[in-house]
Amino acid sequence: MGKHLFRSSPPPEKQTAHQTLAETAVQECMSNINTVISKWTSPSSSSDQFLFSTNSRREAEEFVEAVRHLHITMHRLAAVNPSSDKLIHAQNLMQSAMNLLESEFHRVLMENRQYLDPESVSVRSYRSSRFSSSTPTSVSDSEDETFHEENTTEEHRFSGGDSDAMDDLKMIADCMISSGYAKECVKVYKTVRRSIVDETLHGLAVERFTLHQIQKMDWDTLESKIRSWLPAVKLAVRSLFFGERLLADHVFSSSVNIAESSFTDITLEGALTLFTFPENAAKIKKLTPEKMFRFLDMYESLANLFVEIESIFYFDSAVTVRTQVITSLAKLGDAARLMMTDFESAIQKETSKTPIAGGGVHPLTRYVMNYLSFLADYSESTAVIFENWRPTSPESYAGEDARPEELYSSPVSVRIAWVILLTLCKIDGKAQPYKDVALSYLFLANNLQYVVVKVRSSGLKVLLGEDWVGRHEGKVRQYAEKFEKLAWGRVLSSLPENPAEEITPEEARELFGRFNDEFEAAYRKQIAWVVPDPKLRDWIKISLSQRLVPVCTEFYEVNRFGLGGDGFNVRYTPEDIGNYLSDLYFGSRGSGSVSTKGSGSGTGSSATGKSHGGRSH
Give the other-Cβ count within 10 Å of 344's Cβ.
18
Statement to judge: residues 469 and 378 lie in one domain: yes
pLDDT recorded at residue 145: 43
Range of the domain at 396: 350-486
- Position 299 in a domain: yes
Answer yes or no: do 286 and 141 share one domain: yes
In the chain, which stretches have pLDDT less than 70? 1-23, 25-34, 36, 38-49, 54, 56, 73, 75-86, 117-163, 390-409, 499-500, 561-570, 588-617
316 and 209 both lie in a single domain: yes
| Residue 251 resides in a domain | yes
User: What is d(CA 116, CA 129) in angstroms, rounded to the nearest whole number?
Assistant: 15
Measured over the CA atoms of residue 137, residue 143, residue 146 and residue 151, the dihedral's sign is: negative
Domain boundary among 466, 486, 506: 486
pLDDT value of residue 551: 84
Task: Using a pLDDT cut of 70, give the percent of the chain over it.
Answer: 72
Q: Is there a single domain that holds both residue 365 and residue 504?
A: no
Do 282 and 138 belong to one domain?
yes
Same domain, 267 and 140: yes
Question: If residue 372 lies in a helix (H) or strand (E), which one and from where to where?
Answer: helix 363-375
The DSSP secondary structure of 224-248, one letter per residue, reads HHHHHHHHHHHHIIIIIIHHHHHHH
| Same domain (yes/no): 148, 284 | yes
Q: Judge if 314 and 371 occupy the same domain.
A: no
Assess if residue 185 is contained within a domain: no
Q: In this structure, is residue 163 part of a structural domain?
A: no
Q: Is residue 301 part of a domain?
A: yes
What integer pLDDT is reported at residue 591 of this predicted model?
A: 39
- Using a 10 angstrom Cβ sphere, with 0-12 exposed, 13-18 middle and 19 or more buried, the burial of residue 535 is exposed
Q: Judge whether 117 lies within some domain.
A: no
pLDDT given at position 40: 63
Instruction: Give start and end residues of each alpha helix (H) in 236-362.
Output: 242-251, 256-281, 292-312, 319-349
Of 423, 455, 486, the position where a domain reaches its end is 486
CA dihedral sign of residues 436, 441, 444, 445: negative
Please report, for residues 340, 579, 594, 598, the alpha-carbon distance to residue 569 in angstroms, rounded to integers and kept in the order given. 61, 19, 15, 7
Residue 588, phi-psi category: left (phi > 0), alpha (psi -120 to 50), beta (remainder): beta
Is 448:475 a contact under the CB 8 Å cutoff?
A: yes
Q: Distance between CA 508 and CA 516 in Å, rounded?
A: 12
In the chain, how many domains are there? 4
Residue 577 counted as domain residue: yes
450 lies in the same domain as 519:
no
Whether residue 450 contacts residue 365, with contact meaning beta carbons closer than 8 Å, is answered with yes
In a domain, 70, yes or no: yes
**What are the CA-CA distances from residue 106 to residues 170, 186, 192 (Å)?**
12, 10, 8
- Based on the fold, state whether residues 469 and 508 are members of the same structural domain: no
Domain boundary among 463, 486, 509: 486
Summarize pLDDT for 557-572 with one digit per residue, the tens: 777 765 555 544 567 7
Q: pTM surpassing 0.75?
A: yes
> Do 211 and 298 sit in the same domain of this protein?
yes
Asked if residue 236 and residue 89 are part of one domain, the reply reads no
DSSP classification of residue 397: -
